[in-house]
Amino acid sequence: MKSAYPKVRRLAKLDGVKFQRDLEALCHAKAGELLQAYLEAEVDDLLERARYQRRDRGQPRAHRDGHDREREVFSSRGPIALRRPRVRGVEHESAVLPKFRRRLETVDGSLNEAWLRGLSQRDCEPTLRALLGAKAPLSASTIARVNTRLHDEYLAWKKRRLDDAQIVYVWADGIHLGTGPDDERRVFLIVIGADRNGDKHLLALDESLSESEQSWLELFEDLKTRGLNVPALLVADGAHGLWAAAGKAFAAAAQQRCWKHKIENVMNKLPEKHQADARAALREIMYAEKEIEARRSLEQLAKRFERNYPKAAACLRDDVDRMFAYYRFPADNHKNLRTTNPIESVFSSVRLRTDAARRLRTIKTATSMLFAVIQRLSKRWRKIDGYDKLATITLPQPLAKRKAA
C-alpha cells in the first residue's frame, strides 16, 4: 500500500553551528556598513550635497577632506571598524559617534543595566568583557563615569513640571537604607501619587539627615512650586514631622495613618504571648465594613490592655481619627489606602539591589541608583484597586484654579 505522506528530499545537510556563526558575522558586518553609511550621510546633510558633487551657490563653503585612520568602536556585538569622514571649513561633530568615543550608546546602556541589576562596578568589567571582547574599553572607572549620567537624569527629573497632574491619593514615607558615613546615616523621603486613571507615579525622591518637619516641608513645598495639586488624601506613617509639614503644605487634604506601622507600634508594647491575638484583632478592625464598628472594636481592645499594658492601650487610642480617614473614600479603594504599601512594596525590590552593593560610597550614587531602579520598576506598577471610582472624588484644589495661581 502506498504511503500517504510524501518523501522529503534533502537538498543539503547544513552544519547548524557553522550557519549560526556565519549569520552572526554577516549581521555584524552589515551593522558596520550601516554605521559607516550614517557617518557619510551626516556629512552630506552638513554640506547639502553628495560626495563628488560640485558646490552650488548658497551651499556651505566647506568640503570633505578624506577620512581619519580606521579605528574600532565597540558595540554590543563586538568591535566595528570605522573611518570617520573629515570636513574642512566648518565645525562638525557626529551625533551618533562623537570624537574620542569608543563605545556605542547600546554598550553604555548595557553597563547601566548590569549595574542596576546587582553587579558591582568591579564585577561589570569581567562579565561584559566576556561578551564584548578582550579589547573592549571597560573598567570600574569607566562604569563609574557612565553611571554619572543617571545623576543628570535624576536632576532633570526633579525639575519637571507637574501642572497637568491630577493626583488624588498620595503616599509618603521615609526609608532608611544605611547609606552614607556611619555618623551621617541618611533617610530617603519618598512620595508616590495616584492620578485620576489610577496610575501610580513617583512624585518625589530626596535624601535627608532626618524625617524632620523642615525636611518634609521643603519637599512638599517644592512639589507645590512645580505645580502639584493638593491631593484628596495623604497616607503616611506616624512620623510627627511629616504630619506637621503636611498640615502646612496640604492643609485641605485628608490624612490617613498607615495601619501596618500602627500594628507594629502596638506589638512593640505587648509581650509575645499576646501579640498573635492582638494582631488578629487589629486586622479584623482594619477590615471592618463600617467605621462605627471599627471604632467600637478598637476601644474594646484598648480596654482589654488598659490595666496590664497601659502603653499598648494608649498607643491604640492615639491618632484614632487618622486611622479611619479612608472610610470617607470609595470602598473599592480601601485596600490601597490603609497602608503605605505602595512605597513599602517598591522598596522590598530596591533593597535587593542596595544589599548587593554592600555599601554605597556616596549619597549621590545612592540617590541615582534608587531613582533608576524605581523608574525601571514603575513600568510594571499596577493601577490601584477600584480606579474607576476616582473620577467621583472631588479634589480640594481644582485644576483650573491651580493653573491660574
Tell me the pLDDT tens digit for each residue of 101-141.
Answer: 666 666 666 566 655 665 555 555 565 555 555 555 555 55
Mean pLDDT of the chain: 80
For residue range 254-288, what is the model confidence (pLDDT) as tens digits?
999 999 999 999 999 999 999 999 999 999 999 99
What is d(CA 343, CA 339) in angstroms, rounded to the nearest whole number? 9
In a domain, 74, yes or no: no
In a domain, 361, yes or no: yes
In a domain, 276, yes or no: yes
What is d(CA 32, CA 29) in angstroms, rounded to the nearest whole number? 5
Cell 493626583 -> residue: 167
Cell 535624601 -> residue: 207
Q: Residues 78-93, buried b or exposed e (16+ Cβ, 10 A)?
A: bbbebebbebeeeebe
**200 DSSP β-pair partners:** 194
What does pTM read for this prediction?
0.70
Residue (of 143, 149, 151) closest to 121 by Cα position: 143
Helical H segments across 287-338, by residue range: 291-306, 310-317, 320-323, 334-337
Higher pLDDT, 105 or 356: 105
- Of 51-65, 99-113, 384-398, the range with the lowest mean pLDDT is 99-113
The pLDDT of 192-201, averaged and rounded, is: 94
The pLDDT of 169-187, averaged and rounded, is: 75
Task: Give residue 52's pLDDT.
Answer: 73
Output the CA–CA distances (angstroms, integers) from residue 405 to 206, 220, 225, in the order listed: 26, 17, 10
In a domain, 310, yes or no: yes
Cell 552650488 -> residue: 56
First to last CA, the chain: 90
In a domain, 206, yes or no: yes
Cα-Cα-Cα-Cα dihedral sign, residues 373, 379, 380, 383: positive
The pLDDT of 199-208, averaged and rounded, is: 93
226 lies in which domain range?
168-392
Q: What is the DSSP letter of 191?
A: E
Count the Cβ atoms, other than its own, within 10 Å of residue 272: 7
The pLDDT of 226-231, averaged and rounded, is: 93
Helical H segments across 64-198, by residue range: 105-116, 121-132, 140-158
In a domain, 296, yes or no: yes
Query: Between the CA atoms of 392, 397, 401 and 404, what dihedral angle is there, to the nearest 10 degrees?
Result: -130
Count the Cβ atoms, other than its own, within 10 Å of residue 2: 3
In a domain, 374, yes or no: yes
Phi, psi angle pair for 176, to nearest 5°: -100, 125
SS (H, E, C) 60-86: CCCEEEEECCCEEEEECCEEEEECCEE
Query: Between the CA atoms of 252, 258, 259 and 263, what dihedral angle is there, to the nearest 10 degrees?
Result: -130
In a domain, 287, yes or no: yes
How many structural domains are present in the chain? Answer: 1
The pLDDT of 4-21, averaged and rounded, is: 61
pLDDT of 404 higher than 50: no
Residue (of 200, 204, 237) closest to 222 by Cα position: 204
Task: Give residue 314's pLDDT.
Answer: 94
